[in-house]
Structure 1
């Protein structure tokens, strides 16, 4: 089992929506490095920190579990989708997604709090210029994040 941080904009898809749906595909990843991690490294059973970005209260807000391994992201084939990719075909898809299941909400752990924790200094999230929507989290970093909320 591995640990990950998945970013989402809560106006588009939030931890609350995931809780309502119980299980959801994690669609719309359109960065090759993030796509490669989804496709090649994320596996069933992996644990995910859900991170709200581009909003008033930026930070870690919950935990999910990967319940379906990588498969083609259907939105790349839908012309009406904002994620449509005319260069992608069902025979040779460019973009992939996984399914995640809601586990629990966490009290908001802000980006400022994460940056202020020395145990998280090497986390990709706090590195300058790192805007990936899918990032690996080490076991030590995972434990440090959970310790910040008393878990």
Structure 2
């Protein structure tokens, strides 16, 4: 192990990290005693991603599915989580209903304005549009 001139902290090389050291560090970080940055400083680890790689390799957290491997939720935790989801969905539903009601009111107001404009200016704004068949469709009908 080499010591750095500036900080006095020990600089480590890859050869210095034993498996037991890595497991100890991972355990400290997972138990919340240290953050990744604090562990890096405390043990003089130079690589920015080293601690993260060790956590992924040796830790209990399932990095692919973002769920802890060993920590199963108690029924109470599951209930609380589902209740929180229900509250969120109820808020989202209420917001969607509110927006739908506003949109309906806007349509009614727009129709009223169009009616008023048609009466006031004696013009037809709304078109009674009935789609005609396209020319290619007309040709196909004549052939039949």
Query: Is TM (by shorter chain) over 0.5?
Result: no
TM-score normalised over the length of structure 2: 0.17
More helix by share: 2
Structure with more relative contact order (C-alpha pairs < 8 Å, separation 6 or more): 1
More strand by share: 1
